[in-house]
Amino acid sequence: MRGPITGPAGAAALLAVVALAAGCPAPEPSRPPPSSPAAPRLPGFVVLADVDPRIRADIRYAGGHNFVGRPLAGYDEPLCLLTRPAAEALRRVQDAALARGLSLKVYDCYRPQPAVDDIVTWAGRPGQERTKAEFHPRVPKSELFDRGYVSAPTAHSRGSAVDLTLVDAGSPGPAPYSPGQPLVACTAPAGQRFADDSIDMGTGFDCFDPLAHTDSARVSATARANRHLLRDLMTREGFVNYDREWWHYRYRDEPYPDRYFDAPVARASVG
């Protein structure tokens, strides 16, 4: 003979027997609560604005003002996500910039792998060059990868790379971009190209052209000095510049040098 029915499992079984005897379906067993919350999808990452709200942001790939001409896959929110060491290093750069009456402004930070795949797909399709006149007026789309202006994989997907510039600390912000507005080459003089609030760096952001190479001798003395100032500020805090893009920097001691993440750009992705 079986022993008495005891405990939660026994109680559930007894309810099932009673229900069957009464001609009713057995009640669904209750599910136990989860033992612990899910692990962060981007471990050790932070939202830059939480670390330093003074740093401005214009996350271009979350909108339509970029070289693809539309939001990229994986940019669910217009946020700058970075590994904590890179974000804290940027905070120190911001301290130094503010001491000079300037501020950092980020254009792109962590870039999920689906966004990189989106760019690769775009690059392989003929046409779809709605913003060529602004972002690569003198370089064919088919040569962007070969010339090193676009890469896959990219350090951005490791969470410690950032695209950024310097702006006057007292500037009110850039003029809003209006879809369909006339495009002006990123290589045009500062007073003619898109009215970003960046100090003059010689070209606009994401300008795929030799003029955007950090040490280009073809930009004005003012632009060269501004590029060198940004590089000096960033280098002192452990960042390394990519010499073909004055705006691109990677944190030298990145915690994930061999790992590429695919979680979306969203607050819910960070721990």
Q: Catalytic residue positions? A: 245
What does the alpha-carbon distance between residue 67 and residue 137 come to, in Å, rounded to a whole number? 11
- CA dihedral sign of residues 91, 97, 98, 104: negative
Within 10 angstroms of residue 90's Cβ, the number of other Cβ atoms is 27
Assigned token pair, 138:
């003198």
Assigned token pair, 227:
């590029």
Check: CB of residue 91 under 8 Å from CB of residue 51: yes
Q: Following DSSP, what letter does each residue of 216-259 receive, concatenated? A: -TTS-HHHHHHHHHHHHHHHHTTEEE-TT-TTEEEETT-S-TT-
- Nearest to 193, CA basis, from 223, 163, 215: 223
Check: CB of residue 248 under 8 Å from CB of residue 156: no
Assigned token pair, 171:
């500037």
Assigned token pair, 84:
């904590």
What is the C-alpha radius of gyration for the chain, rounded to an integer number of angstroms?
Answer: 26
86: Cβ–Cβ under 8 A, 6 or more apart, which residues? 159, 160, 161, 162, 251, 254
